């Protein structure tokens, strides 16, 4: 239903943010306990953002595909927004 229980696990200002992403679901294929980590690395052109979500089980291929699609959309939108900042 769009509600996720999350807990911040690690934060290093300007470097990393890591949090749990837990989604309780009766179907084991969607009952997800994962960790999302954002890592910022300075580059000559600006900053490189790495987003990693771990914790998917082999039987959660559909949940993994949904997350991959969602992150691709989110990051494309983020790129559009940051591209307008000067």
- What pLDDT digit, counting tens, does each position of 45-69 carry? 889 999 999 999 889 898 888 889 9
Confidence band of 31 (pLDDT split at 50, 70, 90): confident
Instruction: Output the pTM of the full model.
Output: 0.79
H-only helix segments in the chain:
61-83
Strand order through the sheet with 16-23:
8-12, 16-23, 32-43, 46-54
């Amino acid at each position: 239903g769009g509600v996720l229980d999350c807990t911040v696990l690690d934060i290093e200002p300007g470097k990393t943010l890591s949090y749990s992403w837990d989604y309780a679901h009766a179907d084991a294929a969607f009952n997800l306990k994962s960790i999302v980590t954002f890592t910022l690395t300075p580059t000559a052109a600006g900053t490189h953002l790495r987003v990693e979500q771990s914790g998917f089980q082999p039987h959660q291929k559909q949940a993994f595909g949904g997350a991959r699609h969602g992150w691709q959309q989110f990051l494309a939108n983020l790129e559009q927004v940051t591209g307008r900042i000067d």
